[in-house]
Amino acid sequence: MSIQCPRGTRDFLPDELEKRRAYEGTLREVARRFGFREIETPIFEEAELFILRSGPGVLKELYAFKDKGDRDIALRPEMTAAVVRAFVNGMSNDPKPIKVFYFGQCFRYERPQAGRYREFFQFGAEIMGSATPETDAEAIAMASSMIKALGLKNYKIRIGHIGVLRQRIADIGVPKERTAEVLQKLDKKLYDEARPILKEIGVKDEDAEALFELTETVGGVEVLSKVPGEAGTYLQEVVDYLDRMGVRDLEIDLGVVRGLDYYTGMVFEAEAPVLGAEKQICGGGSYTLSELFGGDKVFSTGFAIGFDRILLAMEKEGIVYERKGIDAYVIAVSDETRKDAFGIVAKLREAGIAADIDIMGRKIGKAMKSANTTCSRYAVIVGEELSRGCVTLKDMQSGEQCEVPVDEIVAKIRN
């Protein structure tokens, strides 16, 4: 038995990788259009970085190890922490706002299932040093554009506000150390499990029910009128900006919670229902994290897209990627012209044309077949017409062919 990929990892064979690269390109292009620049950080970091960000609980799902210098190292389980670290270390005095995006693999030691791998890919973006509704709108707009640019049809973007919930939870007498526990139940909308917890804390029944009602505030942007105080006004602003930008594929859901403590205000998620259990394709919000890593407190908004999942969702929607192929396949009719054919393929390549040629000594019929399987636009047939300084150029799509002087083939193929 041969050696397999480690559990939860995959080989990306050429067909698959070409597709992934193309969609990566789509995401990069959208980010570029939104004025973001790419950033890259190490694949491994000091384990401490992730513990600071997410709490000691992450350790059990971290690929962590000691290096030969006895340092505690971990493969990154996500990228935000590293980007914020890089910000604190080297970008904190850059002109604001700082808009960066990243793409890369992350690692989590979890049980693989649909859309969940141990090595997976995230595409994300952070806007740092700005805390305005415009900032949040910009992040949501870009996430929405990315999903649309990929061609996904079936998805939902839900926007909430963690500040509203935190405030309310504090107001009704839940101590800080039990907030996370309560939020977790609210996130899942497990009110029956939340009730006894709140009761035990000593929260009044009517306050508890009012809290549940708040998290049940779900619907179109019009439900914002029911959201009290500053947060309601703030979200209204965000939504107004989004509306002007033509971003209307959203709904309000104050039940959107997001796991972590450092989220401060707006939070949002996107999901693709076709995916089943692991349907979340994007998540983000506004946060402050830099002070945890020794920097000043800086407001940021960011999000990450689960690249593997969104591709899976696209596949389930029947979106197929068409292989690009090459421009020309050069075919020697006989051994007499074989070496000349290599001269011609070299010339095409020199001119920037993607050109291939048979290297297995095959005869014309099989070579033609190769031209076909490499998805070549043209076949360049090199035979006796070379004595007249010509080759035969065949359009593989239409089957039409004509004789072309050797020094005109580059121009002809370029059109």
Q: DSSP string of 367-404?
A: HHHHHHHTT-SEEEEESGGGGGTEEEEEETTT--EEEE
Residue 65-104 contact track with RNA, rule CB under 7 A, x = bound: ------------xx-x------------------------
Return the H-helix or E-strand segment holding 251: strand 250-253
Binding region for RNA (CB under 7 A) out of 87-95, 146-154, 220-228, 388-396: 388-396
Residue 401 touches RNA, criterion: CB under 7 A: yes
Q: DSSP string of 280-298?
A: EEEEEEEEE-GGGGTS---
Interface positions, 37-66, toward RNA (CB under 7 A): 50, 54, 58, 61-62
Distance CA 185, CA 175 (A): 16
Distance CA 76, CA 120 (A): 11
Judged by CB under 7 A, which of 49, 149, 245, 260 binds RNA? 260
**Residue 10 in tokens:** 């995959």
On whether the CB atoms of residues 286 and 266 are closer than 8 A, the answer is yes
Residue 297 touches RNA, criterion: CB under 7 A: no
Supply the minimum distance, in Å, between the C-beta of residue 16 and RNA.
Answer: 12
Please, which residues have CB within 8 angstroms of residue 17's CB and are 6 or more apart in sequence?
Answer: none
Judged by CB under 7 A, which of 112, 132, 274, 338 binds RNA? 112
On whether the CB atoms of residues 100 and 37 are closer than 8 A, the answer is yes
Residue 302 touches RNA, criterion: CB under 7 A: no
Please, which residues have CB within 8 angstroms of residue 206's CB and are 6 or more apart in sequence?
Answer: none
Could you give the angle at the alpha carbon of 58 between the alpha carbons of 311 and 257, nearest 5°? 65
Residue 360 touches RNA, criterion: CB under 7 A: yes
Return the H-helix or E-strand segment holding 73: strand 72-75
Decide whether 28 or 116 has the Cβ nearer to RNA: 116
Residue 320 touches RNA, criterion: CB under 7 A: no
Residue 169-208 contact track with RNA, rule CB under 7 A, x = bound: ---------------x---x--------------------
Residue 392 touches RNA, criterion: CB under 7 A: yes
Residue 373 touches RNA, criterion: CB under 7 A: yes
Binding region for RNA (CB under 7 A) out of 20-28, 113-121, 158-166, 248-256: 113-121
Q: DSSP string of 93-130?
A: TSPSSEEEEEEEEEE-----BTTB-SEEEEEEEEEES-
Judged by CB under 7 A, which of 324, 372, 389, 414 binds RNA? 372
Would you tell me which residues interact with RNA (CB under 7 A)?
1, 4-5, 7-8, 50, 54, 58, 61-62, 77-78, 80, 108, 110-116, 184, 188, 258-260, 276-278, 280, 283, 333-334, 360, 362-366, 368-369, 371-373, 379, 381, 383-385, 392, 394, 396-397, 399, 401
